[in-house]
Structure 1
């Protein structure tokens, strides 16, 4: 029964996030915001809502391992699986934006700050506020670097309906919040039944599920030759996961973090973030980079499950 509840709750998380993403993108595009900024802000925050809902619910229930592991695992999946898949399916990737000069450092800042904050073994409300301030700084940076683009022609033809968008946004939020609550309870029960640690459940099972919105949106964007939105979504989602998700969760409840015990997984998240910087620095937007990222993911999974 727990497996069924978990599957249904994850589906609710994903569909709820999809409602939020679609409506957020419509609102942003009607105000002529660049695809990268849309991907790195509204779409990124939308795809990070499952992680936020899950981690907040876990923090409230006292499951700190799930709350933190969800963020670490999502970072690993977002870069290795999602970005790797984007490189493999896209016919050509040539972002208009200089991702290395403007954005690559943002994939490293949050995880470095997380490690520094967690040296004392916990994340508290003060840490959470600092995380949220970092997110605010990221949004201000993106707004300042917005490049005006032509509005999508098909979208421009649509009659924009604020009432419909608000209703769908509310439905999305309900799905995400309710789905997260059931996902945590069922995942914890599964972990206890099979003797699996809550950290492992959060790192793989929940993190993979909550990364599905990023995977879906990014692949769709790549297939439409919209690399800016796809890569912006990945970078923005990782920033949002550390700053918003851990920020709000640690304000709700103090999160205990064991850096030494979970060294490999945290190091893996840092390494794939470094790989993203290397790829953008050398403009390695190709299938070889995609295969390399997926190989790293396979090695992480193999080592963690041994």
Structure 2
């Protein structure tokens, strides 16, 4: 039965993402803001909701390994496999602002995570812990990022005030389809995570490994499906904005909210995963600066990178 529900979850994710990308792109036209901003906010927040749900539930249940592993694993998956596959399907155009500010902000968020989880090294404590005050710091950084995004949105809206919108694009229809798509993504993601985890545990996998692989991949399926759908529709700004925004939300919102609710104990093995996540973010930044696009060959390198990472964590655990 778990296998059947897993397939149902995949189906909901795919159809939901199709509705979600189409409607989000139309909302960007109605708001007269660049699609990258919709990708960084509405789409990113929507596709990060499975990570938030799973990590908060895991934190409340005392499974800190699952909560933290889910976020770090999801971000690595997003940077490598999601961006890689989307770029292979259709080269991703990179806006200059994304290179200058959004991707470096992802790197900053990763750096903040590494510092806040290093209690033993920096403060001489007996164990590494993401405390409630750490969670508030994450949420403060998130509010700064959201302020920046809103400022850019208002400026671009002013610049494109005279642009016309096709008559067949209406608010009501697109808000409805966004909500339907988002509901299908969240429900489908939850089905995949729950049943995928059940299958993984039955195969004898550890909690940390399940968090970094099965749950991380499962909760990142909305990003994967949404970005692939966006790439196929040649909405490369939404595809890339979704990934960058999701990674920022995953660290600042998901871990921020989880650790505010209950302090998270940090498994020593996760440090290397956070360092890998930061190195991959730097690689994404380098790729973004080559001709202002992420091409097929760069996409292939990212996909191979994820396969190597997956082999590494399976052998390590």
Instruction: Answer yes or no: is the 8 Å Cα contact 2:77–2:220 preserved in 1.
Output: yes
Instruction: Answer yes or no: is the 8 Å Cα contact 1:70–1:207 preserved in 2.
Output: yes
**CA deviations over 1:52-97 (Å, ceiling 9, x no partner):** 111112122222111111111111111101111122111x544343
**CA deviations over 1:153-200 (Å, ceiling 9, x no partner):** 9973236354x6666666667666666766665555444433211221
Instruction: Answer yes or no: is the 8 Å Cα contact 1:58–1:184 preserved in 2.
Output: no
Instruction: Answer yes or no: is the 8 Å Cα contact 1:73–1:204 preserved in 2.
Output: yes
Partners of 1:288 and 1:150 in 2: CA distance: 35
After TM superposition, give the deviation of residue 248 of structure 1 in Å: 1.2
User: In the superposition, relative to structure 1, how do residues 176 and 291 fare at CA in structure 2: closer, same or farther (>3 Å)?
Assistant: closer
Residue 148 of structure 2, aligned match among 114, 130, 141: 141
Partners of 1:196 and 1:182 in 2: CA distance: 19
Residue 131 of structure 1, aligned match among 133, 138, 142: 138
Secondary structure (helix, strand or coil) at the match of 2:289 reads helix
Instruction: Answer yes or no: is the 8 Å Cα contact 1:214–1:234 preserved in 2.
Output: yes
Q: Does 1:199 align with 2:208?
A: yes
Instruction: Answer yes or no: is the 8 Å Cα contact 1:191–1:198 preserved in 2.
Output: no
Structure 2 residue aligned with 1:38? 38
User: In the superposition, relative to structure 1, how do residues 214 and 278 fare at CA in structure 2: closer, same or farther (>3 Å)?
Assistant: same
RMSD (Å) for aligned C-alpha atoms: 3.1
TM-score by length of 1: 0.84
TM-score by length of 2: 0.81
Partners of 1:183 and 1:252 in 2: CA distance: 25
Partners of 2:189 and 2:151 in 1: CA distance: 34
Partners of 1:270 and 1:56 in 2: CA distance: 23
User: In the superposition, relative to structure 1, how do residues 127 and 275 fare at CA in structure 2: closer, same or farther (>3 Å)?
Assistant: same
Structure 2 residue aligned with 1:233? 242
Q: Does 1:114 align with 2:113?
A: yes
Which 10-residue stretch deviates more, 14-23 or 222-231? 14-23
Q: Give the number of equivalent residue pairs.
A: 302
User: In the superposition, relative to structure 1, how do residues 303 and 189 fare at CA in structure 2: closer, same or farther (>3 Å)?
Assistant: same
Instruction: Answer yes or no: is the 8 Å Cα contact 1:54–1:180 preserved in 2.
Output: no
Which 10-residue stretch deviates more, 267-276 or 5-14? 5-14
Task: Write the mapping of 1:199-218 to structure 2, written as runs, cut at 5 A.
Answer: 199-218=208-227
Partners of 2:86 and 2:191 in 1: CA distance: 31
User: In the superposition, relative to structure 1, how do residues 158 and 181 fare at CA in structure 2: closer, same or farther (>3 Å)?
Assistant: same
Which 10-residue stretch deviates more, 66-75 or 177-186? 177-186
Instruction: Answer yes or no: is the 8 Å Cα contact 1:107–1:239 preserved in 2.
Output: yes
Structure 1 residue aligned with 2:63? 63
After TM superposition, give the deviation of residue 220 of structure 1 in Å: 2.7
Instruction: Answer yes or no: is the 8 Å Cα contact 2:200–2:214 preserved in 1.
Output: no
Partners of 2:254 and 2:18 in 1: CA distance: 18
Instruction: Answer yes or no: is the 8 Å Cα contact 1:19–1:168 preserved in 2.
Output: yes
**CA deviations over 1:174-229 (Å, ceiling 9, x no partner):** 66666676666555544443321122112111221222222222223223333222
After TM superposition, give the deviation of residue 281 of structure 1 in Å: 3.1
Structure 2 residue aligned with 1:295? 304
Task: Write the mapping of 1:243-258 to structure 2, written as runs, cut at 5 A.
Answer: 243-258=252-267
Residue 261 of structure 1, aligned match among 254, 269, 289: 269
